[in-house]
């Protein structure tokens, strides 16, 4: 069974926490240690960012991490090589998150094969057109047992949400706001109305809420209104500050206890 399916089938109502970081930052060889630290630290799922020179959906923190990673020499081939070395040490799902250009350059078939070879369970490609997903990526990913996770935002139509729900599996990534990534102190009533609206659609796929989660208030709002929360910018900034995965995780847990 795909590890993403296993995670959601076995959670039994427990609220999940997924963390994002950019491969190759703060150092080129820090990726595997970060993953192993999060794996033993009780995190439920890890999104590993593929650095790209034009990360249009990301805020300044993740943009800077991507710039650092590229300067450090991180490539998709190097990332897969790193992940292979810890494949048998990681029990939780790994999801690669990156833009379409590097994946197309690598080759879709080769990318999916490398995902399987390195223990990756799925992928998130923010700029992947849905029609291209249906025609090109979906058949290949499914043949390799991989999940392609789609994003929805407050601006996504109900029709589009139901289309995504019908043609994907694993989970749906609910972007909290139609903006770039970055921390916020709380979610507005408009955000909460959006969460409630999607919940009332009774979709078959579980949802994870991301973008803007950095404290107890936003974490509780996300976990109340979905299967769990995804945290990126806050953890990435702590990694940059501390240069130590365990210290960054400890500080994040402290921050998530505070308003």
Per the CB < 8 A criterion, the answer to whether 98 and 122 are in contact is: no
Q: What's phi and psi for 99, nearest 5 deg?
A: -85, 160
Q: Is 193 a catalytic residue?
A: no
Q: In sequence order, which residues have a C-beta less than 8 Å from that of residue 65 and are 6 or more positions away?
A: 21, 22, 25, 26, 49, 51, 236, 239, 240
Sheet of strand 147-149, all strands in order from the earlier edge strand to the far edge: 147-149, 122-124, 94-97, 45-49, 16-22, 228-231, 207-210, 172-175, 151-152
Q: Is 58 a catalytic residue?
A: yes
Catalytic residue among 29, 44, 47, 193: 47
Q: What's phi and psi for 75, nearest 5 deg?
A: -130, 165
Catalytic residue among 58, 132, 241, 244: 58
Q: What's phi and psi for 237, nearest 5 deg?
A: -65, -35
Q: What's phi and psi for 174, nearest 5 deg?
A: -90, 105
d(CA 236, CA 63): 10
- Residues recognised as catalytic: 47, 58
């Amino acid at each position: 069974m795909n590890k993403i399916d296993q995670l959601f089938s076995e959670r039994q109502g427990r609220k999940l926490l997924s963390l994002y970081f950019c491969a190759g930052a703060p150092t080129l060889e820090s990726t595997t240690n970060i993953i192993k630290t999060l794996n033993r630290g009780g995190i439920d799922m890890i999104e590993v960012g593929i650095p790209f020179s034009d990360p249009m959906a990301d805020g300044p923190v993740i943009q800077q991490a991507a710039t650092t990673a590229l300067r450090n020499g991180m490539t998709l081939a190097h990332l897969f090589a790193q992940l292979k070395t810890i494949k048998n040490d990681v029990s939780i799902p790994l999801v690669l998150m990156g833009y379409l250009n590097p994946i197309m350059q690598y080759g879709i078939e080769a990318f999916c094969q490398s995902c399987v070879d390195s223990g990756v369970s799925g992928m998130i490609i923010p700029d992947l057109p849905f029609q291209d997903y249906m025609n090109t990526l979906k058949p290949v990913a499914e043949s390799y047992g991989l999940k392609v996770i789609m994003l929805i935002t407050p601006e996504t139509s109900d029709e589009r949400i139901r289309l995504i729900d019908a043609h994907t599996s694993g989970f749906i990534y609910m972007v909290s706001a139609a903006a770039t990534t970055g921390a916020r102190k709380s979610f507005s009533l408009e955000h909460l109305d959006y969460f409630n609206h999607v919940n009332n659609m009774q979709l078959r796929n579980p949802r994870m809420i991301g973008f803007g989660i950095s404290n107890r208030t936003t974490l509780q709002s996300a976990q109340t209104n979905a299967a769990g929360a995804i945290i990126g910018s806050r953890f990435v900034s702590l990694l940059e500050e501390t240069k130590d995965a365990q210290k960054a995780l400890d500080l994040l847990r402290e921050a998530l206890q505070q308003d």
